[in-house]
A and B are shown apart, each in its own frame.
Chain A
Amino acid sequence: MAATSAPVPAYPDDPSRRGQRPNVASADVRLPAVRSYEQVDREIAATLHPSLGWFALLGVAILCMLIGAATWTYQIYEGLGAAGYHPPVMWGVYIVTFVFWVGIGHAGTLISAILYLFRAGFRTSIYRAAEAMTVFAVMTAGLFPILHLGRPWKFFYLIPYPNWRLIWPNPKSPLVWDVFAILTYLTISSTFLYVGLIPDIAALRDKETNPVRRQIYANMALGWRNSDREWRHFARAYLFLAALSTPLVLSVHSVVSFDFAMALTPGWHATIFPPYFVAGAIFSGLGMVFTIIIPIRKYFHLEHYVTLNDIDAAAKMCLFTSLVVGLAYLTEFQIAWVSGSTYEQDYFWNRVFGQWAWAAWIMLICNCVLPLSLFSQKLRRNTTWLWMLSLTINLGMWFERFVIVVPSLSHEFEPWRWSTYAPSWVDYCILLGSFGWFFMWFLLFIKQLPVLAISELKEVLPPKMRHPHVTSSQRAEHGGMANPLMNQPPLGGSH
Chain B
Amino acid sequence: MPDADNSKTGGPTVRRREFLKVVGASGAAAATVGCTSEKVGKLIPYLVSPDETVPGVSTYYATTCRECSAACGAIAETRDGRAIKLEGNPEHPLNRGALCARGQAALQGLYNPDRFRGPMIKQNGTWKTALWEDAINVAAEGITRARAAAANAVFINQHESGSFPVFLDQWLAAYGMRPHLSVDLDADHAAIEANRRAYGVAWPRLNFADAKLIVSFGADFLDGWGASVAQQLDFADARAKLENGPRFVYIGPRRSLTGLNADQWIPCAPGAELAIANFLSGRGAAPARDQTGVDPAVLDQLRTELTTAKPSLVLSGVTTDNAGEVAAAVAALNQSLGNVGTTIRNAEPITAFDGMSSPAELFDTVERMRAGQVPIVFVRGVNPAYALPKSLNFAEAFAKVPFKVSFSSYPDETTELCDVILPDLHALESWGDAQPVRGTIALQQPTMDPVFANVRASADVLIALAKKDPAAAGRLTMKDYRTWLSGRFPGGDRGLTAALPHGLSAGTIAPRTAPTPTAAPRRVPALTSTSGDYTLVVYPSPTLGGNGANKPWLLELPDPVTKVTWGSWVEIHPETATRLGIDRGDIVELRAGNATVRAPAVPYLGVRPDVVAIATGYGHRAAATLPKFDAKSTTNPIQWGYGRYARNLGVNALDLLPPGTGSTGEFPLTVTKVSLTRVGDHITIPSTEGSARQHGRGIAQAINADDLARGLREGGEHETRPVGDASHEYLPGLRSPVAADAQGVLGAPSEPDQGKNKGLYDPNHPTRMASRRWAMAIDLSRCTGCSACVTACYAENNIPTVGAPWQNATLFATETPGFNITRGREMSWLRIERYFEGADEGRFGEEFETRFVPMLCQHCGNAPCEPVCPVYATYHAPDGLNVQVYNRCVGTRYCSNNCPYKVRYFNWFGYGEPDRKQYAFPEPLNWQLNPDVTVRGKGVMEKCTFCVQRIREAENRAALEHRELAPDEFTTACGAACPSRAIIFGDAADPQWTVAKLAQDRRAYHVFEELNTYTAVVYLKKVNHPTSAAAPAAPATPR
Give the interface of A toward B (CB within 8 A): 74, 78-82, 84-91, 145, 148-155, 157-158, 167-170, 172-176, 179, 259, 262-265, 340-343, 346, 409, 412-419, 424-426
Contact = CB atoms under 8 A, between A and B. Distances in A.
A151 B691 contact: no
Nearest to A77: B810
Interface in B865-901: 867-872, 888-894, 896-898, 900-901
Contacts of B889: 150-151
Contact of B939 (A79, A89, A175, A343): A79
A154 B37 CA distance: 10
Interface in B831-850: 831, 833, 835
A175 B891 contact: no
Given A78-B809, A81-B908, A419-B824, A150 B870 contact: no
Contacts of A145: 892
A90 B897 contact: yes
A263 B722 CA distance: 20
B896 A82 contact: no
Interface stretch (B526-534, B655-663, B694-702): B694-702
Main secondary structure of the interface of B (DSSP, over half): loop
Contact of A80 (B693, B722, B855, B906): B906
B22 to A, nearest CB: 29
B897 A413 contact: no
List the 5 shortest-distance A-B pairs measured between CB atoms, nearest first: A150-B891, A150-B939, A81-B908, A415-B691, A90-B893
B820 interface: yes
B855 to A, nearest CB: 7
A424 B870 CA distance: 27
Interface in B383-418: none
B872 A167 contact: yes
B864 interface: yes
A91 B893 contact: yes
B1039 to A, nearest CB: 14
30 contacts: A78-B810, A79-B809, A79-B910, A80-B939, A81-B809, A81-B820, A88-B896, A90-B896, A91-B893, A149-B890, A150-B889, A151-B939, A167-B872, A167-B888, A170-B870, A173-B869, A173-B894, A175-B868, A263-B868, A263-B897, A265-B898, A340-B723, A342-B696, A343-B697, A414-B690, A414-B855, A414-B901, A416-B691, A416-B902, A417-B902
A428 to B, nearest CB: 11
Which of B697, B823, B835 neighbours the largest number of chain A CB atoms within 10 Å of its CB?
A: B823
A87 B810 CA distance: 20
A158 B869 CA distance: 10
Q: Which of A91, A413, A416, A426 has the most CB of B within 10 A?
A: A416
Contacts of B724: 341
Nearest to A260: B897
A81 B908 CA distance: 4
Contacts of B690: 414-419
B907 A150 contact: yes
Contacts of A346: 695
A424 B896 CA distance: 21
B122 interface: no
A157 B906 CA distance: 19
Nearest to B813: A82
Given A80-B908, A87-B825, A88-B902, A413 B939 contact: no
A169 B1008 contact: no
A204 B869 CA distance: 48
Interface in B621-670: none
B833 A416 contact: yes
A175 B874 CA distance: 14
B154 to A, nearest CB: 49
A256 to B, nearest CB: 13
A176 B870 contact: yes
B557 to A, nearest CB: 16
B286 to A, nearest CB: 40
Contacts of A175: 868, 870, 892, 894
A444 B904 CA distance: 44
B823 A85 contact: yes
Contact of B890 (A150, A262, A265): A150
B938 interface: yes
Given A169-B870, A340-B722, 7 more contacts: A74-B811, A88-B902, A149-B939, A265-B897, A414-B855, A415-B835, A418-B691
B941 interface: yes
Candidate in B868, B869, B909, B1008 with the most chain A CB atoms within 10 angstroms? B868
B905 interface: yes
A394 B870 CA distance: 30
A80 B891 contact: yes
B897 A409 contact: yes
Contacts of A341: 722-724
B238 to A, nearest CB: 28
A264 B906 contact: no
Contact of B697 (A80, A148, A342, A426): A342
Given A170-B872, A412-B900, A79 B890 contact: no
A145 B890 CA distance: 11
A404 to B, nearest CB: 12
Contacts of B872: 167-170
B19 interface: no
A416 to B, nearest CB: 4
Nearest to A408: B897
A25 B938 CA distance: 56
B905 A151 contact: no
B1011 interface: yes
Contacts of B918: 79, 81
Nearest to A178: B870
Among A80, A81, A419, max chain B CB count under 10 A is at: A81
B695 A264 contact: no
B940 interface: yes
B902 A173 contact: no
Central interface residue in A149, A176, A179, A415, by most chain B CB within 10 Å: A415
A87 B897 CA distance: 9
Nearest to B822: A86
B707 to A, nearest CB: 24
B902 A85 contact: no
A427 to B, nearest CB: 12
Contacts of A79: 809, 907-910, 918, 938-939
A275 B287 CA distance: 70
A346 B695 CA distance: 9
Nearest to A84: B823
B901 A78 contact: no
Interface in B754-805: none
Interface string B939-960: 1110000000000000000000
A264 B900 contact: yes
Contacts of B697: 342-343, 413, 415
A84 to B, nearest CB: 8
A154 B887 CA distance: 10
- Most B Cβ at <10 Å: residue of A158, A413, A419, A426: A413
Contacts of B893: 90-91, 150
A264 B869 contact: no
Contacts of B37: 153
A90 B906 contact: yes
A265 B896 CA distance: 10
Contacts of B808: 81
Contact of B871 (A148, A152, A169, A425): A169
Nearest to B1010: A341
B867 A170 contact: yes
B237 interface: no
Contacts of A176: 870
A81 B891 CA distance: 12
Contacts of A81: 808-809, 820, 825, 908-909, 918
Interface in B679-734: 689-691, 693-697, 699, 722-724
Contacts of B835: 415-416
Interface in B20-40: 37
A339 B294 CA distance: 46
